[in-house]
Structure 1
Amino acid sequence: MRTLLSVDRRRYLFPAALASLLFIGSLKIILENIKTIHLTDAFFWPQRTEHRVVRRPITVSDDETIERSCNIFQGKWVWDNQSHPLYTEESCPLLVKQVTCQKNGRPDSSYQNWKWQPDGCNLPRFNALKLLEILRDKRLMFVGDSVQRSMFDSMVCLVQSVIPEGKRSLQKVPPRKIFRAEEYNASIEFYWAPFLVESISDHATNHTVMKRLVRLDSISNHSKQWEGVDILVYESYVWWMYKPTINATYGNLDNVQEYNVTTAYRLAMETWAKWIESSISSHVQKVFFMTMSPTHLWNWEWKKGDGGNCFGESQPIQRPYWGTGSNLDIMGIVKDVLGQLRVNVRLLNITQLSEYRKDGHTSVYGERKGKLLTKEQQSDPKNYADCIHWCLPGVPDTWNEILYAVLLQDYRKF
C-alpha cells in the first residue's frame, strides 16, 4: 500500500478548477436552495415539552446486529444492482444539481450499484422507518464542509420517501439546513463549519476566500449551535489542504502567523476537544467524528496514468490502495486527539473504503461557479473535473449505512 509519512506538497496543489469548484460550487448549493420546500409552524428543532410522543419500540433482529469482533471499515466493494442504489435521483427531489450526475449527463450509472461488504459480517439493510423511530424527539446534526453536507443530503434522501407529504420540511437558514420529520418530532440538520473552529470562511453563502484565516482557539460562535444536539457527526479536512501553510491566530487576534497545516489542525482539534469534554453528556448524547474523504486527482496513482484524474473512471480500485489525497499526518492527529478524550467520541473511519471509489466523484457532471459545465468545459476534464465531491446516490450513502448500523446497535443495547 502506498504510504506517505511526510507531507507531500502535491496534496496541496489542487488544480485551480477544483479549488474553485470546492468553494464557489458549494456557494451555489446553498443559494439555490434558499427557497423552503415545505414550511411548517414548528420551529427548527424538536421541542422538549410535557407532551412528548411516546416512543414506539422497534424490533432489531439478529441479522441487524454487528458482532463486536467485526471491523465494519475493513472489507471490499461488491456489485449489487438489486438492493443498491437505496434511492434514485428521481425519488429524491431535494437533491441539488451539483450531485445529480445522471441528470447532468453522466453516461454510466454503475457507481450507484456498489455495496460495501465488511469482512466477517454484514451491514444491516437501511430501514428509514427504524431510523426515524431511533431519532424520535431528537436532533441529528452533521457538522463540517460541503463533503459533510453530501452526507446530510444523502441521509435526507434515505428517509424522506417514507414520510407523508405535508409531514416533512426542508428549511435553509444559513449556516444551517434543517430537515424535519413532523410526526417523529425529529430533525436531521447540517451546520456549515469547514474548519470546526472559527474562520473567515464561516459565512455559508460568502466563504470563497483564497487567503484563509483561522482562529485556532475560538469555537464559541459555532458551539452554541451544537449545544443540546442529541447526535453530532463532525468532519473537517479538505479546506485545510489548500496549501502546506495557513494563516491563523491563537489568543491574540492581531497576531496573525503562518502555521504549518498539521500544527494548525492539531491546535484546532484540541480546541474542539475541550468543548466536547466540557459540554457533552455521554449518557444522553452521541458524538461521531468522520475521517477524511479522499480525493482522486491524479490517475497515475492507481494505474499507468496519462496526467488525468477521476474522469472516465467507472470501476472501484480492487487492490490495496492509499492515495496522496489522504494525509496520514492528519489521520494520526484525529486518532491522537480522540484517544485522549474523556468523553466517548466514536471514529467513523470512512477513508480507506472511500479510497477505492475513484469512480464515484462528480467529475465533469457537476457545477462550476453555480452553473452546469458547458459541453466545451466537459470536454476538458483535466481542468474542469471535480474529483473531490461525490455523486448521489453514491458513496456518501454507504457512510450513512455505517452510521445507521452503529445507531441501531446502540438502540438494541437499551
Structure 2
Amino acid sequence: MEKKKKLMVVGIWDVKLMFESVIIIFVIMGSLATTAVYYVTSDREQQGDTGSSSRRNNDDNVGFDYGSLDGCDLFSGKWVHDNESYPLYKEHECPYIPGEFSCGQYGRTDFKYQQWRWQPHGCNLPRFNAKDVLERLRGKRVIFVGDSVNRNQWLSMVCMLQSVIPLGLKKMHKAANVSLFTFKAFEYNVSIDFYWAPLLVESNADHPSKHKRNDRVINIQTIEKHAKNWINADILVFNSYLWWGTPTLKILYGSIADSKRYNIVSNHVGYKMVLEKWSNWLTTYRKHKRTLSYFMSMTATHRRGVDWGMQGNENCLNETEPVMKDDFWESGSDSKMMKILESSLDELKARGVNVQLVNITQLTQYRKDAHPSIHRLFYSRLKAKQLSNPNGYADCTHWCLPGVPDTWNELLLVSILQTLK
C-alpha cells in the first residue's frame, strides 16, 4: 500500500512538472513572438518610433461636433504660445522627416517655434486626435499633389498620424517609375500619398529631385501624364505657387523633348492657363460625389528682413519669434497669383465642382521664425564663400518639422472631417 502511495505521488509530481514545463514553453514562445513583432518593420521605424507622441493627442476630442465650426473663419486669427499641447509629435519620433526639414538634427537648438497654436478669432480648433482622424479616414486614399511645400505638408501629416500605428502595420515606399510616394496605414486601410507635380501640368521640373532649373518650360496640353495617377483618390490636396516665381516661362506647342516651338508668357498668364487646363481635367475626370478636393494657398517666404524691421540683407536666419503685427504681409508674396487662384476656384464652383481653398497665406506671413534657414541638410556641398555668408544660403521657403505645416493639416482636417461627419 505504501508503495502504491509513492507511485501515485510520483505520478502526480510528473504531471505537475509536465504542466509547468508546458506553461514555461508557452511563455518563452510568447516572448519570442512579441520580440519578433517588435523588430519586424518596413523601413527605419525601429530607429526612433517610440509611440510616445500619443501622450497628449489621442484621448481628447473623440466625437467632436465639427458642425459647431460652421460659419467660423478658421483662417483669421493669431498665434498663441502653447507649450502644453504643442508640438503634436517630436522630431526624433518620426522616422520619415528628411534632412531638409529636420531642423533639430541639423543644429537648431531653440524649439519655441514648435510651440505655437493657431487661434481663430471666432472659435476654437478641435484638439488633434490621430486615432480619431485615422478612423474617420478608414478605407480612404489621400493624395497631396504639388511642389516641395506640399511635400513638407504631406510629411507633416504622416508624422502626425504614424505614432499611433503599431510597428509592422505601416509602410512608406516610392512607386516605380512614377513621382508617387505612399505612406500606408494597414490597420485602417488608409493611404497618405504625395505626387510631385510642381506646375500641375507636364514641365521640365517633373523629376522629384533633379529639377534645379531657372528656365521654366511647360507643356500645357499634357496634364494627363500626371493626372492619371490621381484618378482613384478619395481626397485630393493641391498646391502650386513657388515654381511660378520667374517673371516669364515657355509654353510649348510640342513635347518636352521637342522644345523648339514655344510662346513666352508672363508667370501670371501661364498660371492662369495651367489652372484652366487643371480645371477642365477636374470637371471631366474627377468623381464628383466621391472625391473631395482642396487647394492650399501660397505660403510666405521670409527672405527680406527689412519687411519686419531688420537691416541690410537679413532674412529668416536666427529668427526665433513670430511677427506679432496684425495683417503683416511680407514683400515676397504675390497677391496677384492668389487672386488668379481664387478666380479659378470660383469659376469651377459655377461649373458644379467645389474645390475648397485652404487659406494658409496670412497665418504663414507671421511665422518668420519657423523656417529651416541653415539648419537642414544641403544636398550639394557648400563652398567656403557660402559658409562665410549664412544669409546667402538660408532656406526661408520650407518649414521645420514639427512646426507650421502641422497647423495647415489641422485646418485641412477640419474641412475634411466637417464633410465626412
TM range (shorter): 0.7 to 0.9
The answer to whether the Cα contact below 8 Å between 2:64 and 2:126 also exists between their aligned partners in 1 is no
> 1:147 corresponds to which residue?
149
> 1:357 corresponds to which residue?
367
Q: Aligned partners of 2:209 and 2:393: how far apart in 1? A: 22
> 2:160 corresponds to which residue?
158
Displacement of 1:59 in angstroms is 5.2
Q: Aligned partners of 2:385 and 2:107: how far apart in 1? A: 13
> 1:126 corresponds to which residue?
128
User: Bigger shift: 304-313 or 187-196?
Assistant: 304-313
For the residue of structure 2 that corresponds to 1:317, the secondary structure is: coil
For the residue of structure 1 that corresponds to 2:218, the secondary structure is: strand
Q: Aligned partners of 1:93 and 1:183: how far apart in 2? A: 19
Q: Aligned partners of 1:90 and 1:379: how far apart in 2? A: 30
Displacement of 1:137 in angstroms is 1.2
The answer to whether the Cα contact below 8 Å between 2:62 and 2:129 also exists between their aligned partners in 1 is no
> Which amino acid is the alignment partner of residue 61 of structure 1?
F
Task: Return the structure number with greater helix share.
Answer: 2
Displacement of 1:407 in angstroms is 1.8
Q: Aligned partners of 2:44 and 2:252: how far apart in 1? A: 41
Displacement of 1:205 in angstroms is 3.1
Name the structure, 1 or 2, with higher relative contact order (CA <8 Å, separation 6+).
1
Displacement of 1:157 in angstroms is 0.3
- Are residue 172 (structure 1) and residue 174 (structure 2) matched? yes
Q: Aligned partners of 2:290 and 2:307: how far apart in 1? A: 44
The answer to whether the Cα contact below 8 Å between 1:291 and 1:349 also exists between their aligned partners in 2 is yes
> 1:285 corresponds to which residue?
291
Cα separation, partners in 2 of 1:85 and 1:374, compared to 1, 3 Å: farther
For the residue of structure 1 that corresponds to 2:173, the secondary structure is: strand
The answer to whether the Cα contact below 8 Å between 1:66 and 1:122 also exists between their aligned partners in 2 is no
Q: Note the alpha carbon deviations across 1:254-301, whole angstroms, 9 max, x for none.
A: 521211000000000000000111112232110000111110000001
The answer to whether the Cα contact below 8 Å between 2:44 and 2:95 also exists between their aligned partners in 1 is no
Q: Aligned partners of 2:289 and 2:152: how far apart in 1? A: 28
Displacement of 1:126 in angstroms is 1.1
> 1:229 corresponds to which residue?
233
Displacement of 1:209 in angstroms is 2.5
Q: Aligned partners of 1:219 and 1:408: how far apart in 2? A: 29
> 1:315 corresponds to which residue?
321
User: Bigger shift: 269-278 or 377-386?
Assistant: 377-386
> 1:405 corresponds to which residue?
414
For the residue of structure 2 that corresponds to 1:143, the secondary structure is: strand
Displacement of 1:176 in angstroms is 1.0
Match of 1:80 among 58, 79, 82: 82
Displacement of 1:83 in angstroms is 0.3
> Which amino acid is the alignment partner of residue 357 of structure 2?
L
For the residue of structure 2 that corresponds to 1:360, the secondary structure is: coil
Q: Aligned partners of 1:343 and 1:251: how far apart in 2? A: 30
Displacement of 1:199 in angstroms is 0.3
User: Bigger shift: 245-254 or 261-270?
Assistant: 245-254
The answer to whether the Cα contact below 8 Å between 1:199 and 1:214 also exists between their aligned partners in 2 is yes
Q: Aligned partners of 1:218 and 1:184: how far apart in 2? A: 34
Q: Aligned partners of 2:387 and 2:165: how far apart in 1? A: 37
Q: Aligned partners of 1:65 and 1:89: how far apart in 2? A: 33
For the residue of structure 1 that corresponds to 2:398, the secondary structure is: strand
Superposed counterparts of 1:175-214, under 5 Å? 175-214=179-218
Q: Which has the larger radius of gyration?
A: 2
Cα separation, partners in 2 of 1:66 and 1:303, compared to 1, 3 Å: farther
Q: Aligned partners of 2:226 and 2:396: how far apart in 1? A: 29
For structure 1, which runs of at least 5 residues remain unmatched after alignment?
1-35, 40-57
Q: Note the alpha carbon deviations across 1:6-42, whole angstroms, 9 max, x for none.
A: xxxxxxxxxxxxxxxxxxxxxxxxxxxxxx6279xxx
For the residue of structure 2 that corresponds to 1:361, the secondary structure is: coil
For the residue of structure 2 that corresponds to 1:363, the secondary structure is: coil
Q: Aligned partners of 1:350 and 1:140: how far apart in 2? A: 19
TM-score by length of 2: 0.81
For the residue of structure 2 that corresponds to 1:386, the secondary structure is: coil
For the residue of structure 2 that corresponds to 1:195, the secondary structure is: coil
> Which amino acid is the alignment partner of residue 245 of structure 1?
T
Q: How many residues align?
A: 357
Q: Note the alpha carbon deviations across 1:92-119, whole angstroms, 9 max, x for none.
A: 1111111111111112111000110001
The answer to whether the Cα contact below 8 Å between 1:143 and 1:233 also exists between their aligned partners in 2 is yes
Q: Aligned partners of 1:364 and 1:59: how far apart in 2? A: 39
Q: Note the alpha carbon deviations across 1:72-95, whole angstroms, 9 max, x for none.
A: 000000000000000011111111
For the residue of structure 2 that corresponds to 1:183, the secondary structure is: coil
Q: Aligned partners of 1:255 and 1:376: how far apart in 2? A: 40
Superposed counterparts of 1:33-72, under 5 Å? 37=43, 60-62=63-65, 64-72=66-74
Q: Aligned partners of 1:103 and 1:81: how far apart in 2? A: 20
For structure 2, which runs of at least 5 residues remain unmatched after alignment?
1-41, 46-60
Match of 2:401 among 385, 392, 396: 392
Cα separation, partners in 2 of 1:329 and 1:269, compared to 1, 3 Å: same
Match of 2:250 among 247, 250, 263: 247
Match of 2:392 among 364, 383, 407: 383
For the residue of structure 1 that corresponds to 2:409, the secondary structure is: helix
> 2:331 corresponds to which residue?
324
- Are residue 347 (structure 1) and residue 349 (structure 2) matched? no
TM-score by length of 1: 0.82
Cα separation, partners in 2 of 1:375 and 1:127, compared to 1, 3 Å: farther
Q: Note the alpha carbon deviations across 1:215-251, whole angstroms, 9 max, x for none.
A: 123201001001020000000010110x211122257
For the residue of structure 2 that corresponds to 1:154, the secondary structure is: helix
> Which amino acid is the alignment partner of residue 313 of structure 1?
E
Q: Aligned partners of 2:118 and 2:328: how far apart in 1? A: 16
> 2:32 corresponds to which residue?
none
Q: Aligned partners of 1:189 and 1:370: how far apart in 2? A: 27
